[in-house]
Each structure stands twice: as C-alpha cells, then as structure tokens.
Amino acid sequence: MLNRLRVRFSKDRKFGESLRNILGFYPRNVALYRKAFTHSSAALEIKEGVKDSYERLEFLGDAVLGTVIADYLFKKFPYKDEGFLTKMRSKIVSRVQLNKLSVRFGLQKFIEADFGFSKNNHSVNGDVFEALIGAIYLDKGYDFTRRFIQDKVIQDHLDIEEIEQTETDFKSKFIEWAQKEKKVFSFVVVDEIMNGSERQYIIEARIDQQVLGKGQSISKKKAEQIASEQALARLGS
C-alpha cells in the first residue's frame, strides 16, 4: 500500500516536472492535468455513460481561451470593429491553429489513448490543448491563465500580423483535402433563390457525389466558401 502510494507519488512528480519544463510553472493539482491528456478510449467510467476524459475540460478551456483572445484583441486593436475582432479570433482558435500549437508545445507525448487509437488523429491535439487551458484555469485561476496565454502562447508562438493578413480560404483547403485523399470533389449550384430583388445561389460541396456542405449567398464565390467550410468541419479538418 505504502509502496503503491510511493510509486504514484513519484509518477506524479515526474509528470509535474515534465509539465513545468513545457509550461514554465509547476502544477498544483496534477490530477487535473492528467485528465486533460486522457482520451475517452483510455478513460475510466466515473458514472454510467460519463468518462473521466478530457472533453469536459475542453469545453471549459475553449471558453477561457476565447475570452483571453477576445481581451487581447480588444486592447490590441482599439479602432477595429467587432466584425474584425470576431474574424481574427476565429482564425487564432481554428482547429488548424490549435493543432499546430499543441504540437509546438510537445503535448502529444502526454496523450493517454487506447491501443488502436492513433495519436495523429486530426483533432485530438487541438482538443488536448484546449483541455490543458481548462486545467490551468481550474488549477491557477483566470488571471494566471490569461498571463500564460498572453506570454507563452501569443507572444512565443503566434504571429498576429501574419494571421491578420491570412484570408481563411476554405475552398482551397477543401480541394487540397480531396486531392490528398484521392477523392472526387465537386461544387454544384443546386438552386437559385430570389430574395427580394437579390439572386441567391445555393451551392453544394460534394465528395464522391455525397453532399458535405451547402452554402447560400448572392456571390457564388462566397457560397462555395461557406459550403467548403461546412464540409471541412464535417471532415474534422
């Protein structure tokens, strides 16, 4: 019993120290961080149907991250309107960006998942990054988390000016995905609707004739963008 406690304690300490090397601080409640890295395939059931995995922390971390980024952008761009702020934030917290951040922080090695589950699974890296933010928030409070995100995430890893320049081009990404996976993609105008005196196009993004996204806009380009964004979300890319 004592021995088991000793093993547990030493494992926790090692994990805590690895985290310190990456995050720059030593966690108080190590169990929270363990949970942040536990995929449901490797998690225990704490109650019928509810697993002790990272999803709940991810929900919390997603909100905290969104608020800290909102605060940062609000202050950095005092003369930009809410449309700009919203767009910038969604670029910063996009799946692609979060996956990248997770890899840069080297979080992959902490992920606990069952055999047969690939750690390279598209979105698990980003999920775990958000869950980690949730764990830090519960462990250390909001102000600490805000400073961590500003200093260690934004400052060290994000190029805000570059992100500002990048137009999110969902159509290109959708086509890239299809080409990589060797699938046949198509964009099909399936309907034109008169909205008052405005003509709106409804365009579907398809993979192998299967509809994965639909966009509606007065501009065909814009409708394709919306359809592609939807399709990518469905593909988890």
Binding site for a second copy (CB under 8 A): 46-47, 49-50, 55-56, 58-60, 63-64, 66-67, 70-71, 74, 79-82, 85-86, 137, 141-143, 146, 190-191, 193, 195-196, 202, 210-211, 214, 216
Question: Tokens 């299809």 map to which residue?
Answer: 178
- Cβ 21 to a second copy shortest distance, Å: 28
Of 12, 48, 55, 62, the active-site residue reads 62
Q: Are 220 and 189 in contact (CB under 8 A)?
A: yes
Residue placing its CB nearer to a second copy in the complex, 5 or 49 = 49
127 catalytic residue (yes or no): no
Residue placing its CB nearer to a second copy in the complex, 103 or 233 = 233
Q: What is the largest CA-CA distance in the chain?
A: 79
Strand partners, 194: 199
Q: Are 125 and 99 in contact (CB under 8 A)?
A: yes
Of 58, 127, 130, 229, the active-site residue reads 130
- Cβ 211 to a second copy shortest distance, Å: 5
Residue placing its CB nearer to a second copy in the complex, 51 or 173 = 51
Cβ-count burial of 116 within 10 angstroms (0-12 exposed, 13-18 middle, 19+ buried)?
Answer: exposed
- Cβ 11 to a second copy shortest distance, Å: 25
Residue 203's alpha-carbon distances to 134, 167, 176, 213, 229, in angstroms, are 38, 21, 19, 8, 12
Neighbour order of strands in the sheet with 185-195: 185-195, 198-207, 210-217
Residue placing its CB nearer to a second copy in the complex, 39 or 214 = 214
161 catalytic residue (yes or no): no
Residue placing its CB nearer to a second copy in the complex, 85 or 175 = 85
How far is it, in rounded angstroms, from Cα 115 to Cα 213?
33
- Cβ 85 to a second copy shortest distance, Å: 5
Helices (H), 24-152: 30-36, 55-76, 82-92, 95-104, 124-140, 142-148
Q: Are 154 and 145 in contact (CB under 8 A)?
A: no
- Cβ 17 to a second copy shortest distance, Å: 28
Active site residues: 62, 130
